[in-house]
A and B are shown apart, each in its own frame.
Chain A
Amino acid sequence: MKKFRGLVIACGLVLGFFTQQAFAATKLIKVDGSSTVFPITEAVAEEFQKANSGIKVMVGISGTGGGFKRFGRGEIDISDASRPIKPKEVDLAKENGIEYIELPVAYDGLSVLVNLKNTWVDHLTVKELKKIWEPSSQGTITKWSQIRTGFPDKEIRLFGPGTDSGTFDYFTEAICGKSAASRGDYTASEDDNVLVEGIASDAQALGYFGLAYYEQNKDKLKIVPIDDENDANGKGPIEPSSQSVMDSTYQPLARPIFIYISTQAAKKEEVQKFVEFYLKNAPELVAEVGYIPLPKEAYAAALERFNKRITGSVFGGKGAKMGVKMADLLRMEK
């Protein structure tokens, strides 16, 4: 018994020592928000932690909306966002005295995906997408044949981001004309990997999410070219690619994605280091995870914004803005 007691005390001491060491040495940067931005932030965090031992970066995926809620309450340092901040979220931040710096980090071509075994879809128009996703289709548009004559008489099974997602806000506004206007009878998940799995395993499926998740699962999914029937944005159906996003022909689903840093957090040395590292390595890492990097000037402009601590959103805090072309964004940032 006595021996045992000694052992317990020894264990306790050792454990206590280690935890104390761990807490004393490690600085923590807390990031949460969009699962669309997650692959970039995760890649940056990984490289950053390799270069800076002693700083730990935690990256969550509660969706853009979820991230901004935590950001507005001051629970996290950085918020990943796949759309600009919304009025409600601006108010929440103001209430808690939180000011923020908005930095664009990449462009995403929001992608529409079907199963590899889907032989009938070669492209979809924006009108057809609207018919699939608009609120009035709930419970009524249930078969592929209702979308276009010639499509098979099979049930259409839908997968998409949940209501906390910035991708959901953006897609619904771009396609259905109003943010959050969507049917509700589909498999909704904030975790894009669940959507990938769902579409990849169901021949009658259709869904949408950020381009990076397609790039990582190219062998499992079929991407759908989108036709916005506006020849000014390029003729015919267009697939998201760095080319079509850069020259703004992939419309209306190309969009900038962001990180938001609270000014409070920006006072911390480790956060400064992380943001600088982020912008410096973004061109390479963004392309690596499957998004489209901004031009070099944009990252330089972003770094300047950060260094000058210019707060607020260039979009005026009004939420998702449609059809922001890369050139427009550059002008706005400057």
Chain B
Amino acid sequence: MLYKKRIILKLKEFLIERGLFFCSLLSVLTTLGIVLVLSFETFEFFKEVPIWKFLTDTQWTPLFVNKHFGILPLLCGTFLTTLIAIGVAAPIGLVSAVYLSEYASLKTRNIVKPLMEILAAVPTVVYGYFALLFVTPLLKQIIPNLSGFNSLSAGVVMGIMIVPLISSLSEDAMRAVPMGLREGAYAVGSNRLQVALRIVLPAALSGITAAFILGISRAIGETMIVAIAAGQQPRLTLNPLVPIQTITAYIVQISLGDTPHGTLEYRTIFACGMSLFILTFILNIFSFKLKKRFQEIYE
């Protein structure tokens, strides 16, 4: 009897283990599949378009008669919106993280932090229309020359979207700094600001860097906001006031349209997807390295 029970138990254990293994395998396989499809279609694309042209041509007009396949304008659009977003999100996120972790009372923190995290739950399409219909007209009051579609308002709103991500992660990193460090600093007569900026901030640098990089990755991959508010014109410019197109917005445009599958025009989106993939991949490696370099180890 007991023996039978044990066998059943073992079987159960085995099944559960396999089930869990299968689950994790699924996500690995999905990633692998994506990489494979991306590589295959990208390879087909580069059979027809030389890679140096893809990387150096300054025009991107694959759908038109005068075809150019230069990724630079799209890359530039992505870079520009990301730069603006992180320019907004980094200071606001960091300051609010310092406030929440070092200054706020427990009560305030318990109210403010969930409220900020609600920002992260707003669907990005809402942010997109917020940028187009609210922020752009508002900015137009200050900058009359602003286009209806522009990277500035898309970037700013994207920044607002990323603030909770950066502040939340940075705050976690700062709170993880051992209390003893703070107490030591207070003991030698530091004030709160000194403790926050000279002790806690450097100690939490690795976590904060990781938060920033995550924020940048998020901004690079963000699609809806830029597709709605930044325009649809691939343009090699650093002027934040005119319509541009990001890599993600281009992919949306093609996949929503009726470009036939299997054509060169259709394959452009895989080449774009691959570029995005490589971009975020490099960023992740960078963040990993940075993290290791700045990590302070406390025993």
Does the CB pair B258–A185 fall under 8 Å? Answer: no
Q: How far is the CA of A138 from the CA of B224 in the complex (A)?
A: 28
Return chain A residues, CB-CB under 8 Å to B149. 187, 197-198, 201
Does the CB pair B63–A163 fall under 8 Å? Answer: yes
Does the CB pair B64–A202 fall under 8 Å? Answer: no
Does the CB pair A187–B64 fall under 8 Å? Answer: no
Write the A122-165 contact mask toward B (1 if CB under 8 angstroms, else 0).
Answer: 00000000000001101100000000000000010100001110
Write the B209-234 contact mask toward A (1 if CB under 8 angstroms, else 0).
Answer: 00000000000000000000001111
Within 8 A of B (CB), among A193-232: 194, 197-198, 200-203, 205
- Number of A interface residues at 8 Å Cβ cutoff, please give it: 35
Q: Contact check: which of A139, A180, A189 meets B59 at CB < 8 Å?
A: A139
Q: Does B68 contact A (CB under 8 A)?
A: yes
Distance in angstroms from A156 CB to nearest chain B CB is 11
Q: Contact check: which of B58, B67, B232, B235 meets A188 at CB < 8 Å?
A: B232
Q: Quick check: which of A60-68, A240-248, A270-278 contacts chain B, the rest being far away?
A: A60-68
Q: How far is the CA of A73 from the CA of B186 in the complex (A)?
A: 75
Return the chain A residue nearest B244 by Cβ.
Answer: A187
Distance in angstroms from A189 CB to nearest chain B CB is 6
Does the CB pair A185–B65 fall under 8 Å? Answer: no
Return chain B residues, CB-CB under 8 Å to A201. 136, 140, 146-149
Distance in angstroms from A41 CB to nearest chain B CB is 18
Instruction: Give the most central of A66, A136, A200, A202: most B CB within 10 Å.
Output: A202
Does the CB pair A157–B243 fall under 8 Å? Answer: yes
Q: How far is the CA of A320 from the CA of B105 in the complex (A)?
A: 70
Does the CB pair A189–B232 fall under 8 Å? Answer: yes
Return chain A residues, CB-CB under 8 Å to B232. 187-189, 194
Does the CB pair A198–B243 fall under 8 Å? Answer: yes
Return the chain B residue nearest A68 by Cβ.
Answer: B258
Does the CB pair A138–B258 fall under 8 Å? Answer: no
Within 8 A of B (CB), among A58-94: 62-63, 65-66, 69-70
Q: Does B205 contact A (CB under 8 A)?
A: no
Q: Does B56 contact A (CB under 8 A)?
A: no
Q: Does A309 contact B (CB under 8 A)?
A: no
Given A188-B232, A189-B232, A201-B148: A138 and B61 interface contact (C-beta under 8 Å) = yes
Instruction: Give the most central of B140, B146, B147, B242: most A CB within 10 Å.
Output: B147
Q: Does B30 contact A (CB under 8 A)?
A: no
Return chain B residues, CB-CB under 8 Å to A169. none
Interface size class of B (residues with CB under 8 A): 20 to 34
Q: Does B66 contact A (CB under 8 A)?
A: yes
Does the CB pair B233–A187 fall under 8 Å? Answer: yes
Q: Does B50 contact A (CB under 8 A)?
A: no
Does the CB pair B148–A63 fall under 8 Å? Answer: no
Q: How far is the CA of A197 from the CA of B66 in the complex (A)?
A: 27
Q: Does A234 contact B (CB under 8 A)?
A: no
Return the chain A residue nearest B73 by Cβ.
Answer: A185
Q: How far is the CA of A190 from the CA of B258 in the complex (A)?
A: 11
Return chain A residues, CB-CB under 8 Å to B258. 62-63, 65-66, 69-70, 164
Q: Contact check: which of B63, B148, B234 meets A197 at CB < 8 Å?
A: B148
Q: Does A249 contact B (CB under 8 A)?
A: no
Within 8 A of A (CB), among B42-69: 58-61, 63-68
Does the CB pair B234–A185 fall under 8 Å? Answer: yes
Q: Does A184 contact B (CB under 8 A)?
A: yes
Return chain A residues, CB-CB under 8 Å to B148. 197-198, 200-202
Instruction: Give the most central of A180, A198, A203, A205: most B CB within 10 Å.
Output: A198
Distance in angstroms from A204 CB to nearest chain B CB is 8
Distance in angstroms from A235 CB to nearest chain B CB is 33
Does the CB pair A184–B147 fall under 8 Å? Answer: no
Does the CB pair B257–A162 fall under 8 Å? Answer: yes
Q: How far is the CA of A153 from the CA of B253 in the complex (A)?
A: 32
Does the CB pair A157–B66 fall under 8 Å? Answer: no
Return chain A residues, CB-CB under 8 Å to B67. 184
Write the A107-135 contact mask toward B (1 if CB under 8 angstroms, else 0).
Answer: 00000000000000000000000000001
Within 8 A of B (CB), among A161-183: 162-164, 178, 180-183
Does the CB pair A185–B233 fall under 8 Å? Answer: yes
Given A185-B235, A189-B232: A163 and B136 interface contact (C-beta under 8 Å) = no
Distance in angstroms from A210 CB to nearest chain B CB is 19
Given A138-B59, A157-B242: A184 and B66 interface contact (C-beta under 8 Å) = yes
Q: Contact check: which of A66, A70, A184 meets B61 at CB < 8 Å?
A: A184
Return chain B residues, CB-CB under 8 Å to A162. 63, 253, 257
Q: How far is the CA of A12 from the CA of B242 in the complex (A)?
A: 51
Does the CB pair B63–A136 fall under 8 Å? Answer: no
Return chain B residues, CB-CB under 8 Å to A200. 148
Q: Does A186 contact B (CB under 8 A)?
A: yes
Distance in angstroms from B75 CB to nearest chain A CB is 16
Does the CB pair B147–A190 fall under 8 Å? Answer: no
Does the CB pair A185–B147 fall under 8 Å? Answer: no
Distance in angstroms from B57 CB to nearest chain A CB is 11
Within 8 A of A (CB), among B145-172: 145-149
Top 10 closest A-B pairs, CB basis? A184-B61, A201-B148, A184-B64, A66-B258, A135-B66, A187-B233, A202-B147, A163-B63, A135-B65, A138-B66
- Cβ contacts A to B, 6 pairs, < 8 Å: A62-B258, A63-B258, A65-B258, A66-B258, A184-B60, A184-B64
4 other contacts beyond A69-B258, A162-B253, A188-B232, with CB at 8 A cut-off? A65-B258, A182-B65, A187-B233, A201-B147
